[in-house]
Amino acid sequence: MKNFIRLCILNPIAILALVMLTVVFGIVALKKIPIQMTPDIDKPILQVRVSWLGASPDDVEREIITRLERSISSLSGIEKIESDSRYGSGRVTLTYNIGENIDNATIKLLNRISTINGLPEEASKPVVRTSNSEDSPKSRLVIEKNLTSINESIINTIEPNFVFNDKPINRFINNDAKLDVNQSKNKSELLLKLKKQINSIENCKLKENSRNLILGDGNINSPIMLIGEAPGLEEDSNANTFMGEVGELLNKMLLAIEIKRKNIYCSYSINFRPPEDRKPTSVEIKRYSVFLKEHISIIEPKIVILMGSTAMEAVTGINGKISSERGKWKEVILNGRTYPLMITFNPSYLIRFPENKKYSWEDLKKIRQKIKDLNLKV
């Protein structure tokens, strides 16, 4: 200690410099240390999530989110309620006060949701999760719905039944159509809007499996709209419809009735490639059928050609053998407009079963005659 004191006395300038350097470094470090008067504290958060395949954001907001918010807003301990309505799904986020018991809050939330009546029959069961959780839900709520309490017009608007024969006996009623299809609007803009809606789909294995969303190609002002089943590997890779051997056969089929493919509009029932090119499930077909019907309404063709059982089910709702439905002129009514349609085999099916080409030729001749009867220019 004496030696240290002696050293300080003998070297006052060095000691002073050391002290000043320490003070300077201290001031600089103090300014860089983050100081929070109110440090961040994680607040308990719960989310209620509901899916409603095919429903627009406005429908989700009106029929689900608003009812959820109205019912749960009076629960105790909630600091903030936020909601998000998307195409086919919606969620309500509840931020609770600091210190609120999350388990008790979950029980109260489930009990309150169970008292809500009149949620759409087509909507999924409400699921309660912790915020931003993609794992298993904390709780899954089963709600018994009273069918008599649901407004029938709403059901018809969102999920119509399609029963078709040679004459239209059912209609796709969409009083709240989001796409105002009239001649004054640009089809390209409407198609772009539709593509964005399809691309906003969540939790879809088809979308996750695909490289591209394939909406359609060809002449958007054509009187003929041809609808296939779903893209394959080549179509997904090139972002075009009917590629490779399937495309070559389709071109030959159309040329046989004096139609160049570039003069018609081609699309699919499913806009993403199914894994391993499997047949789309009825649930998947039903989910995308809403987009397909909007698609038809935008193009406004004079004739619709449905190629394959997937296209048949998507537009008509018929889930059966295509052999018993093909070759007959039917009609579908979308947004008050009637569209004649012909069901026939898909080119990929004809490649696997060429013996059915003779039946496809009969269908093509009927299409050619319809074009002449309607005096269409293709």
Q: Is residue 37 part of a domain?
A: no
Which residue positions in the chain have pLDDT lower than 70?
1-5, 7-8, 30-42, 131-185
Q: Would you state the pLDDT for residue 24?
A: 74
Q: Would you state the pLDDT for residue 215?
A: 96
What CATH number does the domain containing 109 carry? 3.30.70.1430
E-strand stretches of 258-336: 265-268, 303-307, 329-334
* Same domain as 119, residue 213: no
Polymer length of the chain: 378
DSSP 276: G
* Same domain as 276, residue 165: yes
Q: Is residue 16 part of a domain?
A: no
Q: Could you say which of 114, 149, 184 is where a domain stops?
A: 149
Q: Is residue 5 part of a domain?
A: no
Q: Would you state the pLDDT for residue 203?
A: 82
Count other Cβ atoms within 10 Å, centred on residue 307.
30
Q: Is residue 19 part of a domain?
A: no
* Same domain as 172, residue 295: yes
* Same domain as 138, residue 242: no
Q: Is residue 126 part of a domain?
A: yes
What CATH number does the domain containing 252 carry? 3.40.470.10
Q: Is residue 9 part of a domain?
A: no
* Same domain as 167, residue 116: no
For 170-204, write each residue's pLDDT tens digit.
Answer: 333 333 334 444 443 589 999 999 999 999 888 88
* Same domain as 210, residue 351: yes
* Same domain as 233, residue 132: no
Q: What 3-state DSSP class applies to 267? A: strand
For residues 106 and 202, give the distance between their C-alpha atoms in angstroms, rounded to a whole number: 25
* Same domain as 119, residue 243: no
User: Contact 341/315 with Cβ under 8 angstroms?
Assistant: yes
DSSP calls for 9-57: HH-HHHHHHHHHHHHHHHHHHHHHS---SS---PPPEEEEEEE-TT--H
For residues 153 and 156, give the distance between their C-alpha atoms in angstroms, rounded to a whole number: 5
Q: What string of H, E and C letters represents the secondary structure of 250-287?
A: HHHHHHCCCCCHHHCEEEECCCCCCHHHCCCCHHHHHH
Q: Could you say which of 91, 120, 149 is where a domain stops?
A: 149
Q: Could you say which of 100, 123, 149 is where a domain stops?
A: 149
Q: Would you state the pLDDT for residue 66?
A: 87
User: Contact 217/287 with Cβ under 8 angstroms?
Assistant: no
The range of the structural domain enclosing residue 76 comes to: 45-149
Torsion of CA 289, 290, 292, 296, to 10 degrees: 130
Q: Which two tokens stand for residue 135?
A: 């794992």
For residues 229 and 169, give the distance between their C-alpha atoms in angstroms, rounded to a whole number: 24
For 303-318, write each residue's pLDDT tens digit.
Answer: 999 999 999 999 999 9
For 254-297, write each residue's pLDDT tens digit.
Answer: 999 999 999 999 999 999 999 999 999 999 999 999 999 999 99
CA–chain centroid gap for 283, Å, is 13
Q: Phi then psi for 368, rounded to 5 degrees? A: -60, -40
Q: What 3-state DSSP class applies to 342? A: strand
For residues 218 and 212, give the distance between their C-alpha atoms in angstroms, rounded to a whole number: 17
Total domains in the chain come to 2
* Same domain as 179, residue 94: no
Q: Which amino acid would we find at residue 361?
A: W
Torsion of CA 283, 288, 292, 298, to 10 degrees: 150
* Same domain as 292, residue 174: yes
